[in-house]
Structure 1
């Protein structure tokens, strides 16, 4: 007989166990799903105990989650529409330029290659690109990973003073706001930014080579033709 599901956060934490041995990627994903399911259930328990407060909490969380996803895709559209994006991707293919990693990662995100995009965004942020940290903040916020979102929000403030920034979209971080993330990032998106078909982006990305990197899994790699394909997408 399966034990009853936890009814409080303390009860859920009390049942936590540390597994001995090596965690695989599938183990981490399964753990993420279990935690998410328990937190969703606890949210509905709160809603039943206090319907008014519970409804407000659920609505705020859903709105935050959806807005982060929308902002992330809008930011990626803004980056790939930048006049330098194709040139940056060419430099990235040749020299692994961090600014090009940002543009390449935005293409991957629009094509729904999320794991590969996260890898190259971390590469971009590690190379001093604050916009890479902005994308990671929004990505984790969209997933509901509040702690990781807060981490990358703090990194934005650190990285935006680094030299050699490639920042086609201006942003502003506001600290100490109510909510699980505790911060907000406002994007200064141009009113006339175009929207490239995500299906067309996916078709361009699907033909890329995918290499397995030790410890990171299958990560898409750029090729010399990708910059030309991006320019063709911008022209339609």
Structure 2
């Protein structure tokens, strides 16, 4: 694990324990972990906030969204979650969350929003809270409040014991670079070679979000091998 990742041990431990089997109708929801500079849901635990406040609420929310995305992608079991999303016939909200974060760092925020909504609608508290930050950084306060409320409701639900296998979604070097960029205030991006993998994915069309990439069966393997 990288030095930057060690600064957020509680979140990374939580992400490592997410369920890696498809969620059924009676499955329980996740806890959400957020930065402390924007008030989190009441049931949430905290991670370290940005070192210093940004000039505006919008900029602060954007930075916190970048950091949260980086931490999701740094989770040890993110690769397995993505693989289950692509290769399971059942809904897998954790995999949708990881895929959305990949699209975000590949410069596809609209498609990321679509998959965050998919994850949140399937029970992902973190997906709902990332949507809260996403709308907040664009000044869309009504939508931000809606998704914050969704995150609070999901975080209040009990959850069962979660298990997972350690399989990262990106190489150590790429994950270190993404976290390092966040810690100096830069927007996280994938290397060009990995963006090319994302850009080759089959896309569907959505009236609200436009082109929506779909995960392929080999995506998790292609990303970590590059």
TM-score of the superposed pair, with normalisation by structure 1: 0.56
Q: What is the RMSD of the two structures over their aligned residues, measured on CA atoms?
A: 2.6
User: 3-state SS of the aligned residue for 2:118?
Assistant: helix
- 2:54–2:60 CA contact under 8 A, matched in 1: no
Using CA pairs below 8 Å that are at least 6 residues apart, which structure has the higher relative contact order? 2
User: 3-state SS of the aligned residue for 1:102?
Assistant: helix
- 1:99–1:165 CA contact under 8 A, matched in 2: no
Q: Deviations over 1:163-194 (max 9, x none)?
A: 4698xxxxxxxxxxxxxxxxxxxxxxxxxx73
Distance in 2 (alpha carbons) for counterparts of 1:74 and 1:62: 17
1:162 Cα offset (Å): 5.4
Q: Check if 1:121 corresponds to 2:116.
A: yes
Q: Deviations over 1:177-215 (max 9, x none)?
A: xxxxxxxxxxxxxxxx73335234423311111112466
Which ranges of structure 1 fall in alignment gaps of 5 or more residues? 1-59, 167-192
Q: Check if 1:145 corresponds to 2:140.
A: yes
Distance in 2 (alpha carbons) for counterparts of 1:76 and 1:86: 14
Q: 2:177 aligns with which of 191, 195, 204?
A: 195
- 1:129–1:165 CA contact under 8 A, matched in 2: no
User: 3-state SS of the aligned residue for 1:88?
Assistant: helix
- 1:80–1:103 CA contact under 8 A, matched in 2: yes
Distance in 2 (alpha carbons) for counterparts of 1:108 and 1:70: 17
Structure 1 match to 2:101: 106
Q: Check if 1:78 corresponds to 2:68.
A: no
Q: Tell me which structure has the larger Cα radius of gyration.
A: 1
TM-score of the superposed pair, with normalisation by structure 2: 0.59
Distance in 2 (alpha carbons) for counterparts of 1:210 and 1:74: 27
User: 3-state SS of the aligned residue for 1:154?
Assistant: helix
- 2:62–2:133 CA contact under 8 A, matched in 1: yes
- 1:128–1:165 CA contact under 8 A, matched in 2: no
Structure 2 match to 1:208: 201
Between 1:89-98 and 1:137-146, the stretch displaced more is 89-98
Structure 2 match to 1:131: 126
How many equivalent pairs are there? 149
Change (3 A) 1:218 1:142: same
1:225 Cα offset (Å): 2.1
Q: Check if 1:94 corresponds to 2:76.
A: no
User: 3-state SS of the aligned residue for 2:177?
Assistant: coil
